[in-house]
Protein backbone atom coordinates (compact mmCIF):
# COMPACT_ATOMS: atom_id res chain seq x y z
CA UNK A 1 0.00 0.00 0.00
CA UNK A 2 1.56 3.30 -1.09
CA UNK A 3 -0.65 5.54 1.09
CA UNK A 4 -0.66 5.33 4.86
CA UNK A 5 -1.47 7.54 7.84
CA UNK A 6 0.96 8.99 10.38
CA UNK A 7 0.18 10.72 13.67
CA UNK A 8 2.65 13.25 15.10
CA UNK A 9 2.07 13.79 18.82
CA UNK A 10 3.02 17.25 20.06
CA UNK A 11 3.07 16.54 23.79
CA UNK A 12 3.16 18.95 26.71
CA UNK A 13 6.06 17.68 28.83
CA UNK A 14 6.15 18.17 32.60
CA UNK A 15 8.59 17.51 35.42
CA UNK A 16 7.04 14.18 36.49
CA UNK A 17 7.97 11.14 34.43
CA UNK A 18 4.82 9.20 35.32
CA UNK A 19 2.60 12.03 34.10
CA UNK A 20 4.57 12.25 30.87
CA UNK A 21 4.25 8.51 30.25
CA UNK A 22 0.51 8.58 30.91
CA UNK A 23 0.09 11.52 28.54
CA UNK A 24 2.15 9.73 25.88
CA UNK A 25 0.05 6.59 26.23
CA UNK A 26 -3.17 8.59 25.90
CA UNK A 27 -1.96 10.30 22.73
CA UNK A 28 -0.66 7.04 21.23
CA UNK A 29 -4.00 5.34 21.85
CA UNK A 30 -5.90 8.28 20.37
CA UNK A 31 -3.65 8.20 17.31
CA UNK A 32 -4.19 4.48 16.76
CA UNK A 33 -7.95 4.84 17.23
CA UNK A 34 -7.93 7.46 14.46
CA UNK A 35 -6.41 4.92 12.07
CA UNK A 36 -2.74 5.91 12.21
CA UNK A 37 -0.30 3.18 11.19
CA UNK A 38 2.75 5.13 12.38
CA UNK A 39 2.89 7.22 15.55
CA UNK A 40 5.69 9.68 16.30
CA UNK A 41 6.56 11.21 19.69
CA UNK A 42 8.73 14.30 20.35
CA UNK A 43 12.29 14.64 21.63
CA UNK A 44 12.78 13.91 25.36
CA UNK A 45 9.09 13.12 25.74
CA UNK A 46 9.45 11.59 29.22
CA UNK A 47 11.79 14.26 30.58
CA UNK A 48 12.04 18.08 30.64
CA UNK A 49 14.68 19.27 28.18
CA UNK A 50 17.27 20.43 30.69
CA UNK A 51 20.68 18.98 31.55
CA UNK A 52 19.82 18.86 35.25
CA UNK A 53 17.04 16.33 34.62
CA UNK A 54 18.80 13.94 32.25
CA UNK A 55 20.72 11.87 34.85
CA UNK A 56 17.68 11.36 37.09
CA UNK A 57 15.31 10.50 34.25
CA UNK A 58 17.78 8.29 32.34
CA UNK A 59 16.89 4.62 31.84
CA UNK A 60 18.74 1.58 30.65
CA UNK A 61 17.19 -0.47 27.85
CA UNK A 62 14.81 -2.11 28.46
CA UNK A 63 13.32 0.19 31.05
CA UNK A 64 9.88 1.51 32.07
CA UNK A 65 9.52 3.87 29.10
CA UNK A 66 10.68 1.47 26.38
CA UNK A 67 8.66 -1.40 27.85
CA UNK A 68 5.57 0.80 27.64
CA UNK A 69 6.32 1.75 24.03
CA UNK A 70 6.94 -1.87 23.02
CA UNK A 71 3.73 -3.03 24.68
CA UNK A 72 1.62 -0.32 23.02
CA UNK A 73 3.14 -0.95 19.58
CA UNK A 74 2.21 -4.62 19.84
CA UNK A 75 -1.23 -4.10 21.37
CA UNK A 76 -2.25 -1.44 18.84
CA UNK A 77 -0.37 -2.89 15.83
CA UNK A 78 1.40 0.37 15.07
CA UNK A 79 4.91 1.35 14.01
CA UNK A 80 6.03 3.57 16.87
CA UNK A 81 8.88 6.06 16.70
CA UNK A 82 9.34 6.80 20.37
CA UNK A 83 10.60 10.37 20.19
CA UNK A 84 13.66 10.28 22.40
CA UNK A 85 14.55 9.72 26.02
CA UNK A 86 17.75 9.96 28.09
CA UNK A 87 19.29 6.48 27.76
CA UNK A 88 21.82 5.25 30.30
CA UNK A 89 24.38 2.85 28.84
CA UNK A 90 27.37 1.79 30.90
CA UNK A 91 28.79 5.04 32.29
CA UNK A 92 27.27 7.35 29.65
CA UNK A 93 23.93 9.02 28.92
CA UNK A 94 22.65 9.36 25.36
CA UNK A 95 19.70 11.17 23.78
CA UNK A 96 18.15 8.12 22.13
CA UNK A 97 15.14 7.36 19.95
CA UNK A 98 13.76 3.81 20.24
CA UNK A 99 11.69 2.50 17.33
CA UNK A 100 9.24 -0.40 17.65
CA UNK A 101 7.51 -2.46 14.97
CA UNK A 102 3.95 -3.80 14.84
CA UNK A 103 4.92 -6.78 16.99
CA UNK A 104 6.54 -4.65 19.66
CA UNK A 105 10.06 -5.63 18.61
CA UNK A 106 12.87 -3.07 18.56
CA UNK A 107 13.16 -2.05 14.91
CA UNK A 108 16.05 0.34 15.48
CA UNK A 109 17.41 3.06 17.71
CA UNK A 110 19.20 6.32 17.09
CA UNK A 111 21.56 8.04 19.47
CA UNK A 112 21.76 11.77 18.72
CA UNK A 113 25.02 12.28 16.81
CA UNK A 114 25.42 16.05 16.95
CA UNK A 115 25.24 17.52 20.44
CA UNK A 116 23.57 20.89 20.91
CA UNK A 117 26.41 23.03 22.24
CA UNK A 118 25.56 26.63 21.36
CA UNK A 119 25.85 30.14 22.77
CA UNK A 120 23.79 32.63 20.79
CA UNK A 121 24.37 36.27 21.79
CA UNK A 122 21.13 37.64 23.15
CA UNK A 123 19.50 34.24 22.68
CA UNK A 124 20.20 30.90 24.29
CA UNK A 125 23.15 29.02 25.75
CA UNK A 126 22.93 25.23 26.02
CA UNK A 127 25.73 22.65 26.35
CA UNK A 128 24.41 19.11 25.91
CA UNK A 129 27.93 17.69 26.00
CA UNK A 130 28.18 18.57 29.69
CA UNK A 131 25.89 15.58 30.36
CA UNK A 132 25.23 13.68 27.13
CA UNK A 133 27.46 11.58 24.88
CA UNK A 134 27.21 11.53 21.08
CA UNK A 135 26.01 8.59 19.02
CA UNK A 136 28.00 7.25 16.09
CA UNK A 137 25.53 5.52 13.74
CA UNK A 138 23.26 6.50 10.86
CA UNK A 139 19.81 5.04 11.55
CA UNK A 140 17.42 3.66 8.93
CA UNK A 141 14.70 1.32 10.20
CA UNK A 142 12.53 -0.97 8.09
CA UNK A 143 8.84 -0.20 8.47
CA UNK A 144 6.34 -2.34 6.53
CA UNK A 145 5.60 0.53 4.13
CA UNK A 146 9.14 1.79 3.49
CA UNK A 147 12.51 2.43 5.12
CA UNK A 148 12.48 5.39 7.51
CA UNK A 149 15.46 7.47 8.58
CA UNK A 150 15.47 8.69 12.17
CA UNK A 151 17.69 11.29 13.79
CA UNK A 152 17.23 13.84 16.56
CA UNK A 153 16.87 17.63 16.66
CA UNK A 154 20.27 19.28 16.03
CA UNK A 155 21.09 16.38 13.69
CA UNK A 156 18.74 17.93 11.12
CA UNK A 157 21.13 20.85 10.61
CA UNK A 158 23.70 18.53 9.03
CA UNK A 159 22.77 17.75 5.41
CA UNK A 160 25.35 14.97 5.16
CA UNK A 161 23.48 12.87 7.72
CA UNK A 162 20.08 13.26 6.07
CA UNK A 163 21.63 12.46 2.68
CA UNK A 164 23.23 9.28 4.08
CA UNK A 165 19.84 8.12 5.38
CA UNK A 166 18.33 8.81 1.97
CA UNK A 167 21.08 6.87 0.20
CA UNK A 168 20.39 3.95 2.53
CA UNK A 169 16.83 3.86 1.19
CA UNK A 170 14.81 6.17 3.44
CA UNK A 171 11.73 7.65 1.82
CA UNK A 172 10.51 9.25 5.04
CA UNK A 173 12.77 11.09 7.50
CA UNK A 174 11.52 11.52 11.08
CA UNK A 175 13.19 13.96 13.48
CA UNK A 176 12.01 14.24 17.08
CA UNK A 177 13.18 17.77 17.86
CA UNK A 178 12.85 20.53 20.45
CA UNK A 179 13.95 23.76 18.79
CA UNK A 180 13.76 26.77 21.09
CA UNK A 181 12.31 30.27 20.82
CA UNK A 182 15.52 31.63 19.27
CA UNK A 183 16.25 28.99 16.63
CA UNK A 184 12.68 27.84 16.01
CA UNK A 185 11.21 31.00 14.46
CA UNK A 186 14.39 31.53 12.43
CA UNK A 187 15.16 28.07 11.08
CA UNK A 188 12.56 25.37 11.85
CA UNK A 189 10.39 25.49 8.74
CA UNK A 190 13.31 26.50 6.51
CA UNK A 191 15.34 23.44 7.54
CA UNK A 192 12.40 21.04 7.26
CA UNK A 193 11.54 22.22 3.76
CA UNK A 194 15.17 22.22 2.63
CA UNK A 195 15.89 18.69 3.85
CA UNK A 196 12.70 17.38 2.24
CA UNK A 197 13.48 19.13 -1.06
CA UNK A 198 17.17 18.19 -1.24
CA UNK A 199 16.49 14.52 -0.57
CA UNK A 200 13.04 14.21 -2.13
CA UNK A 201 11.58 12.61 0.97
CA UNK A 202 8.72 13.21 3.36
CA UNK A 203 10.28 15.09 6.27
CA UNK A 204 8.60 14.98 9.68
CA UNK A 205 9.82 17.03 12.64
CA UNK A 206 8.02 16.28 15.93
CA UNK A 207 8.32 18.90 18.66
CA UNK A 208 7.08 19.03 22.23
CA UNK A 209 4.36 21.57 22.93
CA UNK A 210 5.49 24.82 24.51
CA UNK A 211 5.39 24.68 28.31
CA UNK A 212 6.09 28.10 29.84
CA UNK A 213 6.26 26.54 33.31
CA UNK A 214 9.53 24.73 32.54
CA UNK A 215 13.03 26.15 32.07
CA UNK A 216 13.21 25.29 28.34
CA UNK A 217 10.51 26.69 26.07
CA UNK A 218 10.10 24.58 22.94
CA UNK A 219 9.03 26.28 19.72
CA UNK A 220 6.43 23.62 18.91
CA UNK A 221 5.09 23.83 15.35
CA UNK A 222 5.57 20.13 14.54
CA UNK A 223 5.71 19.94 10.77
CA UNK A 224 5.34 17.56 7.83
CA UNK A 225 6.80 18.46 4.42
CA UNK A 226 6.35 16.46 1.21
CA UNK A 227 9.10 15.56 -1.32
CA UNK A 228 8.37 18.69 -3.39
CA UNK A 229 9.16 20.87 -0.37
CA UNK A 230 5.54 21.76 0.38
CA UNK A 231 4.34 21.99 3.98
CA UNK A 232 1.32 19.68 4.20
CA UNK A 233 0.69 19.98 7.94
CA UNK A 234 1.95 22.16 10.77
CA UNK A 235 0.88 22.61 14.38
CA UNK A 236 0.98 25.74 16.50
CA UNK A 237 2.68 25.84 19.91
CA UNK A 238 -0.06 24.01 21.83
CA UNK A 239 -0.49 20.32 22.59
CA UNK A 240 -2.20 18.29 19.88
CA UNK A 241 -1.88 15.58 17.24
CA UNK A 242 -1.10 16.15 13.56
CA UNK A 243 -2.56 13.56 11.19
CA UNK A 244 -1.13 13.25 7.68
CA UNK A 245 -1.29 10.82 4.80
CA UNK A 246 2.00 9.73 3.25
CA UNK A 247 1.87 8.83 -0.45
CA UNK A 248 4.99 6.92 -1.44
CA UNK A 249 4.08 7.22 -5.12
CA UNK A 250 4.72 10.96 -4.79
CA UNK A 251 8.28 10.21 -3.68
CA UNK A 252 8.84 8.14 -6.81
CA UNK A 253 7.12 10.71 -9.04
CA UNK A 254 9.24 13.62 -7.77
CA UNK A 255 12.47 11.60 -8.02
CA UNK A 256 11.58 10.51 -11.55
CA UNK A 257 10.62 13.96 -12.85
CA UNK A 258 13.44 15.87 -11.09
CA UNK A 259 16.21 13.25 -10.72
CA UNK A 260 18.45 15.07 -8.25
CA UNK A 261 19.75 11.91 -6.64
CA UNK A 262 20.64 10.36 -9.98
CA UNK A 263 22.48 13.51 -11.08
CA UNK A 264 24.89 13.61 -8.16
CA UNK A 265 28.54 14.00 -9.25
CA UNK A 266 30.05 11.25 -7.13
CA UNK A 267 33.23 11.40 -9.19
CA UNK A 268 33.81 14.97 -7.99
CA UNK A 269 32.46 14.65 -4.45
CA UNK A 270 34.84 11.76 -3.74
CA UNK A 271 37.73 14.16 -4.20
CA UNK A 272 36.53 16.45 -1.43
CA UNK A 273 38.60 15.96 1.70
CA UNK A 274 37.11 18.66 3.94
Positions annotated as catalytic residues are: 43, 112, 153
- Ordered DSSP codes for 53-116: THHHH-B-SS-HHHHHHHHHHHHHT-EEE---EEEEETTEEEEEEEEE-TTS-EEEEEE--S--
Show the CA angle centred on residue 148, arms to residues 146 and 152, nearest 5°. Answer: 170
Neighbouring residues of 260: CB distance < 8 A, sequence distance ≥ 6: 198, 200
Compute how many other C-beta atoms are within 10 angstroms of the C-beta atom of residue 40. 31
Compute how many other C-beta atoms are within 10 angstroms of the C-beta atom of residue 167. 14
Q: Are 202 and 242 in contact (CB under 8 A)?
A: no
Amino acid sequence: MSVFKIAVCQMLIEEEKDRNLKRAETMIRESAAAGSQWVVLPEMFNCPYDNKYFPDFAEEFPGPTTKMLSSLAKELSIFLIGGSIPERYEDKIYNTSFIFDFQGNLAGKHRKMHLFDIDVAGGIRFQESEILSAGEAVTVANAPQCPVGVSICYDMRFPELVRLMTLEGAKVIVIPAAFNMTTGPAHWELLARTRALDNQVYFIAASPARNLNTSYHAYGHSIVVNPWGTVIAQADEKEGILYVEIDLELVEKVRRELPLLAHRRKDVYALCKK
